[in-house]
């Protein structure tokens, strides 16, 4: 499925639509720096019910959230030096938690070690600042 996002309000509407599906598993966010991966994640976490700030995990690697009993992990692997580091921090245990959602930016940095994504969102910024979003594994009804 391909969607055009003309502004941040469109990004928020898309995040709300995905939140309504109660996503679980692994969601990979692809796109260049500045494409809007973290912005999308912020809107998704709020649409799922998180109240408060959403920190970028660029330096912490992972930011955990408990949203109404649903474990959600937002990971940013951009600064990952060695994919083996994920094992040391217990990253793979996140996938074993029932009903968990693991949102991963820059998953390509550890592609060989990560389980295949359940959902994939590729965001491409256009010259006019709109975004083209290609999604697989996500079904939006209505």
Phi, psi of 92 (to 5 degrees): -70, -20
Does any domain span residue 139? Answer: no
Residues 115-130 have pLDDT tens digits of 999 999 999 999 999 9
Is 132 within the bounds of a domain?
Answer: no
Q: Tell me, yes or no, whether 114 lies in a domain.
A: no
Identify the helix (H) or strand (E) that includes residue 87: helix 85-88
Give per-residue pLDDT as tens, 41-72.
999 999 999 999 998 888 889 999 999 999 99
As for how many domains the chain has, the answer is 1
CB 38 within 8 A of CB 56: yes
Within-domain flag for 141? no
Establish if 72 belongs to a structural domain: yes
Q: Is residue 54 part of a domain?
A: yes
100 DSSP 8-state letter: -
The answer to the question of residue 98 being in a domain is yes
CATH number of the domain to which 87 belongs? 3.40.50.300
Predicted model pTM: 0.93
């Amino acid at each position: 499925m391909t969607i055009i996002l003309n502004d941040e309000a469109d990004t928020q509407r898309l995040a709300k639509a995905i939140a309504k599906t109660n996503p679980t598993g692994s969601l990979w966010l692809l796109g260049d720096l500045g494409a809007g991966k973290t912005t999308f994640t912020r809107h998704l976490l709020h649409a799922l019910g998180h109240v408060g700030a959403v920190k970028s995990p660029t330096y912490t690697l992972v930011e955990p959230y408990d949203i109404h009993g649903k474990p959600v992990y937002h990971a940013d692997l951009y600064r990952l030096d060695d994919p083996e580091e994920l094992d040391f921090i217990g990253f793979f245990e996140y996938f074993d938690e029932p009903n968990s959602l693991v949102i991963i930016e820059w998953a390509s940095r550890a592609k060989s070690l990560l389980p295949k994504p359940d959902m994939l969102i590729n965001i491409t910024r256009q010259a006019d600042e709109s975004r083209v979003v290609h999604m697989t594994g996500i079904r939006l009804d209505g």
